[in-house]
Structure 1
C-alpha cells in the first residue's frame, strides 16, 4: 500500500506541476500576443508614414513639419516599447529560450532606422522646396510687373531647361543650352541654386526609391511571422502539456482505482477476518452459554427433583417447608439462568417467534397458579381482570407473551409488601387489533429520575434494591425487547412509595371461535391407560432416579436404559407406551437413538426428549429426527404430567394398533383415522348452512329438524364405520360406506365432500386403498357438518318453543 501511496503522491505532484506549467505557458502566450500586437500596430504606423511621404512626390507635402512631428512621436513610441521590454524580464526562466527578445530588438532597430530614413526624406523635401522657392523668387523678382506673366512663363521654361541641363553630364552642352535658351535672367547665383537642387533632387530620389523598395519593409513581415511562429509554438506546447495532463490524470485515476481496489480487498480480508473472529467469539459465547446451561441444569434437575420428592413424600411439616425452600431457591437460580440465555438470544437476534391461537385464560392459568401462592405468602392479593370475550382467541407467540406477563407480574409481587397486584386485559379498537395488558401494583415504586434506566440491561432502580430483592436486572430489558420484537410497545408510570403501572400493547390477530359450554378439566387426573410403560433412557443416575420417581407417582411403569444402544436393544424385544430420551449419553446419543427408532425399527412409539439444552436449535433437532415433544431440565413433575395428557390420544392409538389381531392374515394399517373434536376443526368447512334442501319456505321447522337428525345420525354412523374398515385395510368394505356418504351429500348439495368422494372412487376403481389423508379430510368434513346439524336442530327447536 505504501508503494501505491508514493506513486499516487508522485502523480499528484506531476499533476500540480503540469497545471502550474500550463498556467505559466498561457501567461507567456499572452505576453507574446501583446508584444506581437504592439509591433504590428507600430509597424502599420511606419508603413502609413512611408506612404504619406511617398505620395508627396506627386501631391507635395502640405505640412512637412506636421509629418516630422508625427515621426518624432512614432520614434518615441518605439523607444517606449524598447524601454518596456528592456527594463523588465520578458519571459520567466522556463521560457527564456523564446526569440521574443530578438524579435523585439530587430523590430526596434529596424523601425528606428526606417523612421530616420523617412525623416531624411522629409528634410530633403523641405530643402528641395526651399531651393525651388529661391529660384522662383530670383527669376520672378527681376521682371517688371507689366511683363510678370511673360516672365513667369519664361521661368517655367527656363527651369525646365535648367533641370534638363543639370541632368546632362557635359558642361559644354549645358553652357550652350544656357546660352541658346536662357535669357539674361539666369545668373550665376541661379546656376548654383540649380546645381544644388540637382544634387538634392538626386538624393531625394534615392531616398524615396529606397523607402519604396520591398526590401526596406520586409522586416515587418518577418517580425510579424516571427511572433506568429512563437504563438504557434506556445499553442503546440500548451496542447502537448494538456495532453500530458489528461494522460497523467487518467493514469492517476487508474492508480487510485487500483490502489482503492487493493485497499478495499485488504480491508475486505481484514473485515472478513474480524467478522470470522467475531463469529468465532459469538459461537464461543453461545457454546459457553449452552454448556453452562447444560452443566447447571443437569445437577439442578437432581436438586429440584429430589426436593420435590422429599416435599411430596415427607409427612413432617418442617421437612416439607425446608424442601420448598430448596425448590424456591433452585427455581430462582433457573430463572436467572433463563434470563441470561434469553438476553443472549435477543441480543444475537436468534429469538424466533411462533404463531398459534390461544386465549387469555391460557396465559393466566399458569400465572395464577404460580404467583398466587407467592402473593398469599406475602399477604397481598393477586387480581386478574379479563375484559376480553371468552370466544376471542389471540394468534401469536403464547410462550413469549406468558413470559412477558410472568416477568412483569413477578416483579410486582416481588416489590410489593402490602396491598395488591392487578393484571387487566383489554382489546383496543385499532388496526391491527391490539391487546392491552396492564400490570399495576402498590409496591415500593420507582423514583422519577430512575424510570428511564429500568429497561436497560443489568440495571435496577437502586443498588439496595438488588441487595434486598435479588435479581440480575435483565427481566425488564428482556420484556422490552420481546415486546418490540412482537411489534408492540411498553410504558411505565410510577410514584415512589405509591406503586407502579406497566402498560403493554401488542398487536395480535384475533380469532373468533365457538364458545364451549363444557369446561375442560385442567386439574391433574390419572392416566387412563392401564399398565402404562415408559422406557427411560438417561445416563445420569440421579436424573434417572428423579424422573423414575415422577413416573411412578403417576402410576407409570419405568424400565431404565443408560445409553442409546441399550434403548435399541430393549425396543427390539419389548414395546412401550412412551420413551423418555436424554441426549448427551455415551456410545450413542439420544438424537442418534431416536433416528434409529424411527428409520430402522420403524416404531411409532411416542418419544419425549428430555434435555438440559434450552436453545431452539437443539429442540428443533430433536423434533426433526422424530421426537414428539421436548422436556427441558430441570424437569418438573407437572410438566411431565401435562405432556403425557397432551399426547393421550396418541398413546391410545398406538396401544390400539398394537392390540389389533393381525394373525387372521388381514393386513392392518399402522396409520389410523381419527375423529377429532369439533373445536379442533375449522367451522368454515361446513356446507349445511347453505344447503338448498333447507331453504324452501314451505318446509316447517319440524320437517327441517327431521332432515337434520337423519343427516347427523347417518354421518355419525359412517364416520365410525370408515375408521373401522380402514384400520383393517378392507377396501371392498369402504365402497358401500362411500356410496352412502355420497347419497346424503347429493341430497344436501355438499359439493366439497362430493369432490373428495370422486378422488376416493378413482382409487377404489383401481382396487387400491385410498390414502389416509384423503379419508381423514372426508371424516373432518362429516364431523363439522354433523356438529352444524346439531346446532341447527337446537336453533329450530328453540324457535318451535317460542312459537
Structure 2
C-alpha cells in the first residue's frame, strides 16, 4: 500500500511537469494570454488560477484518503494476525488436552481391568448375600466407569478427525441398560423420575455403532437430567423398518424448554442459550454441536421440539440393520 501512495505522488508530479512542458512547447501559455486579453469579460485569468489550485487540492485529498485506507488496512491485518495467533494457541492447547485425555484413558484401562478381575475373584468367595451384593455393585460401578472411558476415547478419536469405526452387532437393550445405570443415580438424587423403555418391536440384535450410540444418548439424557428442576425425564427407543431400517430414540424432559428463536443456535459450536436454564449449570456435556456432528457422520438426523414452560423432546434417528 505504501508503494501505491508513492506511485500516485510520482504520477501526479509527472502529470504536472508533463502538462507544463507540453503547454510550453505548443506556446499554450502565450495563446491563452492573447485569448484572455481579447475576452476579458470571461474572466479567464481567475479560472486559470483556480484550476491548478483545485488540482492540487484534489491530489492532497486523494493522498490523505489513500493514507487513511492504508492505515485501516494495516490495523485490520494486524488484528487478523493476532486472531490467527490466538487461534493457533487455542488449537495447540486443545490438541494437547485431547492427547492427554487419550493417554490418560488408555492408562486408566489397565488398573481398571485389574480391579474388575479382583472383584470377580472376591465375588466367588463372598460368604453371605450382603457381601456378594456389595461386590456386585462395585463391579457394576467399575463396568460403568469402563464404558465412560471408552466413550471418552471415542470422542477423542472424533476430535482428531479419525474415521468412524465400522458398524458391528450389538444388543440395544444392553446398551440402554448401561445408560440407565449410569444416569439413574443422578436423576434420583435430583428428585426426578426417569422412565426408560424399549419397544417390543425392536430386534434383539442390531448392526450399528454401539459406542457412538451410547455417547449420543448419554450426552442428551445427561443434559435433560441436568437442566430439569422437577418432574420427569423419558428415554424411549423404537424401531422403524420402512422405507429403511432405522432406530428412533426419543429423550424428553419437563424442564423450562427452549424458545423457538434459540433452537437452531444450540446446535452451533460455542453457543449457549441465554436463559436461566443454561446459566445455572456449568458445562453441557460434549455439547449438542458435537452430538449433531456425530449423528450426521452416522447418516442420521436429530430434531428438537420444545417450547418455554413445556419441556423439550429430542428425537434422533440412526440407520441400523437387524440380524434377527
TM-score (ref. length: structure 2): 0.54
Q: Deviations over 1:125-162 (max 9, x none)?
A: xxxxxxxxxxxxxxxxxxxxxxxxxxxxxxxxxxxxxx
Match of 1:455 in 2: 267
Question: Is 1:370 equivalent to 2:182 in the alignment?
Answer: yes
* C-alpha separation in 2, matches of 1:391 and 1:295: 36
Q: Find 1:490's aligned residue among 293, 296, 302.
A: 302
The answer to whether the Cα contact below 8 Å between 1:459 and 1:473 also exists between their aligned partners in 2 is no
1:409-448 equivalence runs, <5 A: 409-448=221-260
Deviation at 1:285, TM superposition (A): 5.7
Deviation at 1:403, TM superposition (A): 0.9
When residues 295 and 422 of structure 1 are mapped into structure 2, their CA distance, relative to the original with a 3 A threshold, is closer
Separation (CA, whole Å) in 2 of partners of 1:417 and 1:493: 19
Describe the SS at the equivalent of 2:267.
coil
CA distance in 1, matches of 2:184, 2:242: 32
Count of aligned pairs between the two proteins? 206
- 1:294, distance to aligned residue in structure 2 (A): 3.7
Alignment match of 1:291 (pick from 100, 111, 128): 100
Superposed displacement of residue 441, structure 1: 0.8
Structure whose residues are more often strand by fraction: 2
Using the alignment, how far apart are the partners of 1:442 and 1:365 within structure 2? Answer: 22
Q: Secondary structure at the match of 1:501?
A: strand
| Distance in 2 between residues matched to 1:487 and 1:284, nearest whole Å | 30
Q: Does the residue aligned with 1:431 lie in a helix, a strand or coil?
A: coil
Q: What pairs up with 1:529-568 in 2 under 5 angstroms?
A: none
SS in 2 for 1:392: coil
Offset, 1:472 = 4.9
Task: Give CA deviations for 1:503-557 in whole Å, capped at 9, x if unaligned.
Answer: 0011101111xxxxxxxxxxxxxxxxxxxxxxxxxxxxxxxxxxxxxxxxxxxxx
Q: Match of 2:169?
A: 357
Kept in 1: contact 2:266–2:288 (CA 8 A):
yes
Corresponding residue for residue 500 of structure 1: 312
Task: Give the distance between the partners of 1:484 and 1:381, measured in 2 at CA.
Answer: 30
- 1:579-590, aligned counterparts within 5 Å? none
Q: RCO higher in 1 or 2 (8 Å CA, sep ≥ 6)? A: 2
8 Å contact from structure 1 (residues 459, 474) kept in 2: no
Deviations 1:356-411 (A, max 9, x none): 21222111111111111111111111111211436532101111101111111111
Superposed CA offset, 1:468-517 (max 9, x none): 111156421121111111111000010112100000011101111xxxxx
| Distance of 2:248 and 2:223 partners within structure 1 | 18
The 3-state SS of whatever aligns with 2:162 is coil
Secondary structure at 2:187 match in 1:
helix
CA positional deviation for 1:353:
2.4
What is the CA–CA distance in structure 1 between the aligned matches of 2:174 and 2:166, rounded to whole Å?
A: 16
Q: Does 1:404 align with 2:216?
A: yes
Residue 571 (structure 1) aligns with: none
2:59 maps to none
Please say if 1:384 is aligned against 2:196.
yes
Query: Any idea what the Cα deviations from partners look like across 1:317-375, whole Å, max 9, x if unmatched?
Result: xxxxxxxxxx9xxx9xx99x949x82x64355314223221222111111111111111
Helix, strand or coil for the counterpart of 2:313?
strand
**Structure 1 residues 429 and 355, CA gap change in structure 2 (3 angstroms):** closer
SS of residue paired to 1:382: strand
Q: Which runs of 5+ in 1 are unaligned?
A: 1-277, 303-326, 513-803
The 8 Å contact of residues 201 and 238 in structure 2, kept in 1 or not, is answered as no
Give the C-alpha shift of residue 437 in structure 1: 0.7
Q: Distance in 2 between matches of 1:290 and 1:347?
A: 10
> Residues 461 and 293 from structure 1, CA distance in 2 versus in 1: closer, same or farther, beyond 3 angstroms?
same
- Write out aligned runs for 1:385-784 (5 A): 385-389=197-201, 391-462=203-274, 464-472=276-284, 474-512=286-324
Q: In the aligned structure 1, how far is the partner of 2:225 from the partner of 2:219?
A: 10
Tell me, yes or no, if the aligned pair for 1:435 and 1:506 is still in contact at 8 Å. yes
Q: 1:292 to 1:405 in 2, by over 3 A?
A: closer
Distance 2:210 2:257 in 1: 29
- Alpha-carbon separation, structure 2, partners of 1:487 and 1:292: 27
In structure 2, the CA distance between the partners of 1:467 and 1:298, relative to structure 1 (3 Å rule), is farther
Distance 1:479 1:352 in 2: 14
Shift of 1:286: 3.8
State how far apart, in whole Å, the 2-side matches of 1:360 and 1:404 are: 14
**2-structure distance, mates of 1:405, 1:469:** 19
| Structure 2 gap ranges (5+) | 1-86, 112-140
